[in-house]
Amino acid sequence: MKILVINGPNLNMLGVREPEIYGSLTLSEIEDELRNYAKQLDESIVLEFFQSNFEGEIVDKIQNALNNFDGIIINPAAYTHTSVAIADAIASVNIKTVEVHLSNIYSREEFRHNSYIAPKCLGQVAGFSKDSYKMALLGLYGMLK
Ligand code: CA2
C-alpha cells in the first residue's frame, strides 16, 4: 500500500519558529515518527513524503499520484483556506485522501474555519499536533485495506 504524504507552505519551518502553536518537532522528525508508526501498523505500507511552498507544485504532485499511490494524506497549510486548485486536483484523481492539521483550525481565527479541501476528502483530523498524521494514517489504512 503506497501512501503519499503532502505538506504545504511554511511547514518546512516546523520546529524552527512558533513552537507554542505547532510544536517543537521539525517536519523531518514528524515524518520519521509517521514512518515508524506505519511500520508497526503494517510492514507493507510505503510512505512517500513531499513538501512544497508552491500551489502548482502540489497540484502537479497530486496529478502524478494517479496510478502511483493508493492514498494521500495532506496538510495543505494556508492553502486549506484558499485553494480551489488543490481541491479540484484531489477530486480529479479520485484517490482516497485525508486532510490533516496540527492545530485545531476551528478554535483559531474565523478565516481558518473553512476548508476547500475537506469536502473532497474521506475525513479531516485537526488539533492533535504530530499525532494528527498518525490518526489520519490509521483511518486511511482502515479504508484501503
Ligand atoms: O494546523 C495546521 O496544520 C495548519 O495547516 C498550519 C498552517 C495554517 O495556515 C493552517 O491554518 C493550519 C500554517 C503552517 C505554518 O507553519 C509554520 C511552522 C513554523 C513556523 C511558522 C509557520
Question: pLDDT per residue over 27-69, tens digit each?
Answer: 999 999 999 999 999 999 999 999 999 999 999 999 999 999 9
Quick one: cell of 65? 499520484
> 37, 79, 101, 133: which one is catalytic?
101
CA–CA separation, 91 vs 118, rounded Å? 11
Q: What is the pLDDT of residues 55-112, one digit of tens each?
A: 999 999 999 999 999 999 999 999 999 999 999 999 999 999 999 999 999 999 999 9
Active site residue 101: yes
What's the total number of domains in the chain? 1
User: Which of 6, 12, 81, 101 for a ligand 1 pocket mutation test, highest count of atoms within 8 Å of Cβ?
Assistant: 101
Nearest CA to ligand 1 atom 5: 77
Domain holding 37, by residue range, is 2-144
Residue 118, C-beta contacts closer than 8 angstroms, at least 6 positions apart: 80, 99, 124
User: In CATH, what number is assigned to the domain containing residue 26?
Assistant: 3.40.50.9100
Amino acid at 144: L
Cβ–ligand 1 distance for 21 under 6 Å, the answer no
